[in-house]
């Protein structure tokens, strides 16, 4: 573990940005996540900011205002990296620089900070901003870390043997498509692909009728490892810049036909949605939990195991999925919760994902993205996909307004939210990752 509880986690800290002190706020001064934004509707260049309450601190303006004139060399290198239009340069600097900048920002945003008069001019309300992806994503790997999801989905297709024999030995993943990753608020066009029903002799080309969401956590890589050099388990967290929300949209009917023998392809490559704010691993330090697995399961292989991993590699992060249908939106009704789960249910930790990913010598780079896989919990109400919630489409979900859903319909907006909350510490949140389904491409193929 590279971080410890320190002054930035102090629950007595308050900010001169008043909205950051409100109970239940996602972005108190103990959080300070990074994102990339500009004023909505402007032609300004995108720039890096930090969420504080309902505001964004523009780091480029804060730098220009002289807020960091007295900073040490490490902090100065970090703040200079934030003058770029994405987080990649900052991510490449490593944990010491990230920690130095976080401490400096915490002190600048605290209630008694003398710089507040100057820095008020560097704020922009979040509801006046539009967002871009926080980093230029070079590669994207999606994992399958929830044994509850793997078992529930496997039971739909293989009732007698739902969990494949390799699951408890190896973190399963596939390489996704980086070019179709978008930021919260994106429109997701219903994909078209080959679909074959069980009673059909041949497949047809058609828009997906079984479009689904997947509730996931995104892991953004900072730093890199040389090609050919694996990352040991106790150094894996030094490669993690932070976490965000991730919706890995999935076309289940396309997936069912194409996934053998090489796994998902068109069923996943059409869109992935990220939340705009990246919560640093340091901010999540108070919410660490022990990592373990059932005693009768095989222990992890030595390269995936360590005393530190067992002691605190888990993360207690609440996760939820909500839906707002077109009818709900027209009636002014708020999104309705579909499920709630927790990241601590993961069968594999984020450090194990990194170590396994690099076991072959694969070189991760700053800005790479790992998806956790669908985060389902042990009960049906904690399922992270409609595939599970509707039992493969056999049991439609009844919504409060009388509508039903087995899979997503055009006009549906899916909202992912997450937060970490623990007695004795300040609650921190992740904001939202939302996306709206729109009609399929209409031109002939």
The tens digit of pLDDT for each residue in 134-166 reads 999 999 999 999 999 999 988 887 888 889 899
Q: What is the structure's pLDDT at 2? A: 82
Whole-Å CA distances, 213 to 107, 216, 376, 431: 39, 9, 12, 18
Band (pLDDT 50/70/90 cuts) for residue 239 is very high
Q: What was the pLDDT predicted at 445?
A: 67
For the cut 70, the answer to whether the pLDDT of residue 444 exceeds it is: no
CA dist 322 and 445 (Å) reads 34
Above 80 in pLDDT, residue 125? Answer: yes
Q: Is the pLDDT of residue 331 over 80?
A: yes
Judge if the upstream peptide bond of residue 261 is cis by omega within 30 degrees of 0: yes
Predicted local confidence at residue 164, as pLDDT = 87
Q: What is the pLDDT of residue 26?
A: 98
* Alpha-carbon distances of 1 from 5, 219, 223, 240, 290, rounded to whole Å: 11, 16, 16, 11, 12
Percent of the chain residues past pLDDT 90, beyond the cut:
94
Whether residue 222 is predicted with pLDDT greater than 90 in this model: the reply is yes
In terms of C-beta density within 10 A (0-12 exposed, 13-18 middle, 19 or more buried), how is residue 42 classed?
Answer: exposed
**Contact yes or no for 372/219 (Cβ under 8 A):** yes
pLDDT above 70 as % of the chain: 99
Task: Tell me the pTM.
Answer: 0.96
Compare 181 and 260 and report the one with higher pLDDT: 181
Per-residue pLDDT at 382: 97
Q: Which of the four pLDDT bands, split at 50, 70 and 90, describes residue 1?
A: low
| Average pLDDT of the chain, as a whole number | 96
CB 136 within 8 A of CB 367: yes
* CB contact set of 217 (below 8 Å; sequence gap of 6+): 243, 244, 245, 246, 317, 319, 343, 371, 372, 375, 418
What six digits make up the tokens of 434? 């939302």
Distance of CA 310 to the CA centre of its chain: 23
Residue-level pLDDT at 278: 98
Give the C-alpha separation, 285 to 289, whole Å: 9
Structural tokens at position 188: 């997701």
With a cut of 80, say whether residue 13 has pLDDT above it: yes
In the chain, the N- to C-terminal Cα span, in Å, equals 52
Q: Active-site residue among 148, 149, 345, 356?
A: 149
pLDDT at 216 over 90: yes
- Give the model confidence (pLDDT) of 348-376 as tens digits: 999 999 999 999 999 999 999 999 999 99
Domains by residue range for the chain, with CATH: 19-132 (2.30.30.230), 140-438 (3.90.850.10)
Ranges 63-67, 428-432, 439-443: which has the least confidence: 439-443
The DSSP bridge pattern shows strands 288-289 and 314-315 to be: antiparallel
* Average pLDDT estimate for 34-47: 97
Q: Are strands 413-420 and 314-315 parallel, antiparallel or unpaired?
A: unpaired
Question: Catalytic residue at 149?
Answer: yes
Give strand pairing partners of 403: none
The C-alpha atoms of residue 46 and residue 34 are separated, in whole angstroms, by 13
Residue position matching structure tokens 């930035």: 8
């Amino acid at each position: 573990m590279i971080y410890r509880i320190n002054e930035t986690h102090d629950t007595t800290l308050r900010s001169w940005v008043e909205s950051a002190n409100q109970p239940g706020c996602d972005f108190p001064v103990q959080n300070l996540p990074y994102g990339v934004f500009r004023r909505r509707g402007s032609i300004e260049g995108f720039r890096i900011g930090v969420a504080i309450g309902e505001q964004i601190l523009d780091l480029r303006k804060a730098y220009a205002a002289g807020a960091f004139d007295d900073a040490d060399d490490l902090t100065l290198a970090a703040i200079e990296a934030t003058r770029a239009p994405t987080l990649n340069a900052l991510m490449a600097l490593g944990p010491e620089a990230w920690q130095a900048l976080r401490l400096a920002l915490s002190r600048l945003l605290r209630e008694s900070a003398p710089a507040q008069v100057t820095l008020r001019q560097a704020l922009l309300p979040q509801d006046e901003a539009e967002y871009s992806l926080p980093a230029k994503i070079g590669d994207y790997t999606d994992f399958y870390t929830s044994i509850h999801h793997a078992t529930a989905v496997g039971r739909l297709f293989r009732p007698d043997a739902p969990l494949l024999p390799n699951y408890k030995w190896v973190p399963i993943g596939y390489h996704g498509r980086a070019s179709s990753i978008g930021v919260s608020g994106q429109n997701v066009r219903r994909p078209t692909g080959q679909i074959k029903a069980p009673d059909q002799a041949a497949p047809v080309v058609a828009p997906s009728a079984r479009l689904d969401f997947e509730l996931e956590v995104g892991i953004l890589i900072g730093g890199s490892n040389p090609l050919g050099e694996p990352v040991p388990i106790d150094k894996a967290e030094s490669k993690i810049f932070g976490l965000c929300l991730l919706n890995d949209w999935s076309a289940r009917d396309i997936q069912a036909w194409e996934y053998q023998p090489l796994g998902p392809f068109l069923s996943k490559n059409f869109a992935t949605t990220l939340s705009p704010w990246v919560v640093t691993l340091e901010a999540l330090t108070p919410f660490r939990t022990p990592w373990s697995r059932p005693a009768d399961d095989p222990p992890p292989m030595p390269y995936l195991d360590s005393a530190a991993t067992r002691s605190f590699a888990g993360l207690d992060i609440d996760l939820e999925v909500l839906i707002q249908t077109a009818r709900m939106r027209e009636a002014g009704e708020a999104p309705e919760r579909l499920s709630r789960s927790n990241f601590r249910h993961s069968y594999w930790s984020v450090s194990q994902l990194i170590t396994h990913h690099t076991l072959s010598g694969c070189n991760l780079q700053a800005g790479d993205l790992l998806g956790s896989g669908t985060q389902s919990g042990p009960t049906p109400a904690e399922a992270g996909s409609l595939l599970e919630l509707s039992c493969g489409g056999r049991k439609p979900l009844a919504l409060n307004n009388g509508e039903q859903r087995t899979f997503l319909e055009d006009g549906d907006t899916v909202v992912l939210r997450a937060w970490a909350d623990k007695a004795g510490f300040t609650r921190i949140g992740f904001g939202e990752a939302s996306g709206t389904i729109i009609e399929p491409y209409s031109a002939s193929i």
